A = this chain, B = another copy of it.
Amino acid sequence: MTELASIKPMRQRMEEYINNLQDQIVIALEKLDPNSPPFKRDSWVRAQGGTGRSCVFAVPPNDEARSTNSHESILEKAGVNISIVHGILPPAAIRQMRADHTSMPLPDRPEGLPFFAAGISLVIHPRNPHAPTVHANYRYFEITEPKSNTEDDPTTSPQVLAWWFGGGSDLTPSYLYEEDAVHFHSTIKKACDAHGPELYPTFKKWCDEYFFITHRQECRGIGGLFFDDLNEGAHKRLSPASEVKRPVNQEEIFALIQELGNAFIPSYLPILTIRHSTPYAPHQRRWQLIRRGRYVEFNLVHDRGTKFGLMTPGARIESILMSLPETARWEYMSEMGTEEGTEEAKLVQVLREPRTWIA
């Protein structure tokens, strides 16, 4: 750890990092499709404390209605959000957190506890059914001691009771290209491996478990990484740091987070670049919209982040639901995906039995 790094609190360093990463990702996507409108940048202030910036891509609907000859945008809908928020976590939310984050003892205070959260969250839905949807999210969380009323010196930082990082990234194709899955997983594995040999296999498995649509008995996509609760203490899914190398302090975990954040563009953009211009038939678009229906089901029924957001008073609904696709489709007893030997059935199979993409 350098002298300089230690001067700034992690809150501020994470905020600066996700700010830069958001810019890089949005600019890279805009560069890929210069003939489409740019992302809409939209800064907001949360009345209860905090700020954020949404960068959203959407095609003006009137153009889309008769896009016969006009340019077809590479993206259909995409959002790259950052938010830096703070406030008081109500007791119910603390109890929820204590259950989820068992490695961190949080006191159960009736008046709640102050929290701080800084994160980047993105979902990209391309238009072409051969180009996969991608999701990524990296976040830093702090629970602090309530400030006493007597000390109101703004330069003193409150005592941190608990902090952790969480995040991940995962790919959701409508059609399976094994080489894309391998590229995506290789890129994020490489980013993990520099920080410890257990990280990729552990977070890959966690991802398969988390992004599982119980009522459909299938995964949302072909996986990636999912993790939470990374801090300097023990971790319920990782071996003790004394036995297997892994990031053991805030500095080392932040280094991992940055490496993963930086791996996002190389993990996804080459895939989008290749697939966005693949010719497709109407039934492939139809299948893509059915798959988007499943994406909606996961996000509204299962995703903890979305559920937490929808229950939070004063939450910014438009940002929480930005992850939903522009269009989704539900067919009763659809035959798509059920006929063996089809490309649709090939995807369904891999969603039912998550595969090991790289040894």
Contact = CB atoms under 8 A, between A and B. Distances in A.
Nearest to A328: B328
B286 A332 contact: no
Given A62-B283, A296-B300, A322 B332 contact: yes
Contact of A332 (B282, B293, B318): B318
A77 B42 contact: no
A79 interface: yes
A65 B332 contact: no
A310 B317 contact: no
A327 interface: yes
Nearest to A289: B327
A54 B331 CA distance: 14
B333 A293 contact: no
Interface in A115-171: none
A61 B281 CA distance: 13
Interface string A58-73: 1001100100000000
B333 A216 contact: no
A33 interface: no
A327 B327 contact: yes
Interface in A322-346: 322, 324-333
A331 B300 contact: no
Contacts of A97: none
A94 B265 CA distance: 49
Given A216-B317, A282-B65, A286-B61, A332 B300 contact: no
A332 B58 contact: yes
Interface in A25-79: 40, 42, 54, 56, 58, 61-62, 65, 77, 79
B282 A215 contact: no
A342 to B, nearest CB: 15
A42 B1 CA distance: 66
A281 B193 CA distance: 55
Contacts of A322: 332
A214 interface: yes
A60 to B, nearest CB: 10
Contacts of A333: 42, 56, 318
Nearest to A287: B61
Nearest to A65: B282
Contacts of A286: 61, 65
Interface in A284-335: 286, 289, 293, 296-297, 300-301, 310, 315, 317-318, 320-322, 324-333
A317 B218 CA distance: 13
Interface of A: 40, 42, 54, 56, 58, 61-62, 65, 77, 79, 214-216, 282-283, 286, 289, 293, 296-297, 300-301, 310, 315, 317-318, 320-322, 324-333
7 contacts: A61-B283, A61-B286, A77-B332, A214-B310, A296-B300, A326-B329, A327-B329
